[in-house]
Chains A and B, each alone.
Chain A
Amino acid sequence: LAKTTQPISMDSYEGQEVNITCSHNNIATNDYITWYQQFPSQGPRFIIQGYKTKVTNEVASLFIPADRKSSTLSLPRVSLSDTAVYYCLVGGVHQGTASKLTFGTGTRLQVTL
């Protein structure tokens, strides 16, 4: 069972880059690292997923070191609308077997002017 540890909360000013780090020391070989964003009264929304090295999409970047025991979600130039809870999820769904798809406590990001 891959347990994740993230900061409970972070504050940022609008326009800054925000980096949220997640620790997952017992990540398994088949596990992926996935980040979700959740606004109040909405379901979580997929942001980015990776296995190793660096992944970038139109929303964020995900940095994964070689040992894969941690990962960092990078949000460039945040705006007020990025205020949300961000979850790091480690695991995978495989045919016939699965690691527990468990969400941690998440990181509550507050962006202000």
Chain B
Amino acid sequence: DAGVIQSPRHEVTEMGQEVTLRCKPISGHDYLFWYRQTMMRGLELLIYFNNNVPIDDSGMPEDRFSAKMPNASFSTLKIQPSEPRDSAVYFCASSSRDWGIEAFFGQGTRLTVV
């Protein structure tokens, strides 16, 4: 398996623009997580899905952020409108475990909002 695939790897956008990050989880995994990493705040869980259904989105910072999982092989994280403080590395991870947290992370998307 190719692992968790995220795209794009790097994104530079202007403040106010819409940004869409994409994730393809490992086939057969039924949990998908979105994390954000910054120097100041470390790794933060934004939202996670189980069987394509959002279970906990309490980590989503504000209404400008939204995430969808239309099917088992694809998820998006959208920021609209983007702001400079959204600049971070966004990771997607997937897991097949019903107990515990053995998750596999993608390479991340480095987002820069100028």
Contacts and interface: CB of A to CB of B under 8 A. Distances in A.
The answer to whether A and B belong to the same complex is yes
Interface of A: 30, 32, 34, 41-46, 49, 51, 87, 89, 91-96, 98, 100-106
Nearest to B33: A101
Contacts of A94: 98-99
B12 interface: no
Contact of B105 (A43, A91, A92, A93): A43
Nearest to B98: A95
A20 to B, nearest CB: 17
B86 to A, nearest CB: 19
Contact of A43 (B50, B91, B97, B99): B91
A103 B4 CA distance: 19
B45 interface: yes
Contacts of B107: 42-43
A93 B98 contact: yes
Please provide the 3 A-B residue pairs with the shortest distance between their CB atoms, ordered closest to farther.
A43-B105, A103-B43, A32-B100
B106 interface: yes
Contact of B43 (A30, A87, A93, A100): A87
Contacts of B48: 93, 98, 101
A46 B102 contact: yes
**What does DSSP make chain A's interface, helix, strand, loop or mixed?**
loop
Given A98-B55, A101-B48, A46 B104 contact: yes
Contact of B42 (A32, A34, A98, A103): A103
Contacts of A46: 102-104
Contacts of A100: 45, 56
A101 B44 CA distance: 9
Given A44-B43, A93-B98, 15 more contacts: A32-B101, A34-B102, A42-B107, A43-B4, A43-B108, A46-B103, A91-B101, A93-B99, A94-B98, A95-B98, A98-B55, A100-B56, A101-B33, A101-B48, A102-B44
Interface in B72-114: 91, 93, 95, 97-108
B101 A49 contact: yes
A84 B96 CA distance: 26
